[in-house]
A and B are shown apart, each in its own frame.
Chain A
Amino acid sequence: MSLHYLSSAEITQGISKGSFSASEVLQSSLDRIETTNPKVNAFTAKHVDRAIQKAQSIDALRASGASLPPLAGVPFAVKNLFDVQGQVTLAGSIVNCHHAPAKQDAFLIERMAAAGAVLVGSLNMDEFAYGFTTENTHYGPCRNPHDITRVSGGSSGGSGTAVAAHQVPLALGSDTNGSIRVPASLCGVWGLKPTFGRLSRRGTFPFVNSIDHLGGFANSLDGLATMYDAMQSPDALDPGCHVKKIEPVLPTLQQGTKGLRIGVLNGFFEDNASPQAREVVATAAKALGVHAQVEWPDATLGRIAAFIITASEGGALHLDNLRHRIEEMEPLSVDRFMSGALQPAAWYIKAQRFRRMYRDKVNALFENWDVLLAAATPVSAPVIGTDWLEIQGQTLPSRAAMGLLTQPISFAGCPVVAAPMWPSLNEDLPLGIQIITAPWREDLAFRVAKQLETLGVCQVKRVEL
């Protein structure tokens, strides 16, 4: 049996029944990483010793007859901006190499470990999360498992690739402007960017404090839901974590879509989508019996404001690196960081003030709608090194344009499940959709995703590498 193809539910059930052990699952994952990572370059570090210890503890727990936690023995990996005890948090850079090793795991890693999951390694990413393609100059480009000449998306490219390449069934990432949804779309896996403020960010290297979200990737929707429920927790030590209670989605996953008001985003979201991107949205809408077209308020301005805030906060965060270590920074993003650092304060403040108006308009939209659909990326994965894209007659910079459709959504803080789809115009390359809901209503996005999975519209495909 090829254990590395299994979903997290199949793994926990198999371990529980005694069909295989957590140690065998771990070995299968490590073997898969060994044979496939030279092709896709997803992992930047493996944490073998602690993984072996954790898997053995799960096997001992089963042998004792105790009940197993929900992710018992499930291997997972994290974008390398998550603190891992004893490891330097690189955040895709070499300038962080001189930092002291982390004293403890990131909060979400602790939550995953408490649920029985086994951390196996850290993953490639765009330097300091400023990019949508994971063409990392220091550690090499992350390659798309469906075509290794193409990008995996970013900035959590290693996370999308590791799941798509069946190295691990679950991975954690971060999403400021689309950095979970873009690689989920291009790699053909499930992704979740929760509501801003839902999951604690404690113990991760920041990019844009006022927009950063953490979330995850999975090879199954049930796995994504289980992981999300396991990671939820109030955290008084993270001022950006707003929640006071856990709101699990697993119990409502099968409730269907009856009665939900579902629409398709038009305007900006059609104008910046390729024929393939529009096709997958139309396919999902048809399967759900959805005909309504909905306009997202001020999408262009929302994207602009997110762009300006990102550049300003990112540039300010790395001012010292720009002053003293600029030659060691990623050539593909260092000039954008510097440009951001030079932006007038008035631009930043206007963008933040606009965000309040924008939030109110978006929340008003969700008075009339429960779930909205849009493509996750304008196109499927471009070839590594692509500088420009043609989208609907516009010539756009490739690395920035990949986030066109995600940026206005995360700026409002809305939760999104990114669902894997396969346009008929190019069946070998995935292109996902965004299932978007009002803040704090992840449950509705999961219900629609489950319906699409049940109907066979959204699926993760096996990759031979």
Chain B
Amino acid sequence: MTDEQTHKFVQTSALALGLPADEARVARVAAHFKRTEVMAQLLDQVDCPVDLEIAEIYCPKPIES
């Protein structure tokens, strides 16, 4: 997204969730969101097989009995 699109996304999503969306806050939140978006794009490039489910309650390794 462009900076303007990010700003609009934050503004609209905040409204959808009932969050305060004054201009100064939207600008600050958009700056954080933009940094996360760049990171999310990197993660999006990872190829996950379709049968890879999210963890129910994450367990780092089965415990050996």
Interface string of B11-48 (1 = CB under 8 A from A): 00110011110000100110111001001101110101
Structural contact, A354 and B46, CB atoms closer than 8 A = yes
Structural contact, B63 and A240, CB atoms closer than 8 A = no
One of A55-63, A162-170, A184-192, A345-353 contacting the partner: A345-353
Known A-B contacts A304-B42, A339-B33; the reply to A356 vs B17 at CB < 8 A is: no
User: What distance in Å separates the Cβ of B25 from its nearest Cβ neighbour in chain A?
Assistant: 7
Q: Which residues of A contact B40 (CB under 8 A)?
A: 304, 308, 343, 347, 350
| Bound CA span A339–B13, Å | 10
| Bound CA span A238–B28, Å | 37
Residue from B13, B31, B43, B59 in contact with A197 in the complex, judged by beta carbons closer than 8 Å: B59
Known A-B contacts A339-B33, A357-B48; the reply to A304 vs B54 at CB < 8 A is: no
Q: Which residues of B contact A243 (CB under 8 A)?
A: 63
| Bound CA span A353–B53, Å | 6
| Bound CA span A289–B53, Å | 42
Structural contact, B13 and A342, CB atoms closer than 8 A = yes
Known A-B contacts A323-B18, A339-B29; the reply to A350 vs B39 at CB < 8 A is: no
Structural contact, A354 and B19, CB atoms closer than 8 A = no
Structural contact, A350 and B57, CB atoms closer than 8 A = no
Binding site for B on A (CB under 8 A): 195-197, 210-211, 239-240, 242-244, 300-301, 304-305, 307-308, 311, 319, 322-323, 326, 335-336, 338-343, 347, 349-357, 359, 363, 412-414, 438-440
Binding site for A on B (CB under 8 A): 9-10, 13-14, 17-20, 25, 28-29, 31-33, 36, 39-40, 42-44, 46, 48, 52-55, 57-61, 63-64
What are the 7 A-B residue pairs with the smallest beta carbon separation, nearest first?
A413-B60, A339-B32, A352-B54, A439-B60, A439-B61, A304-B39, A342-B13
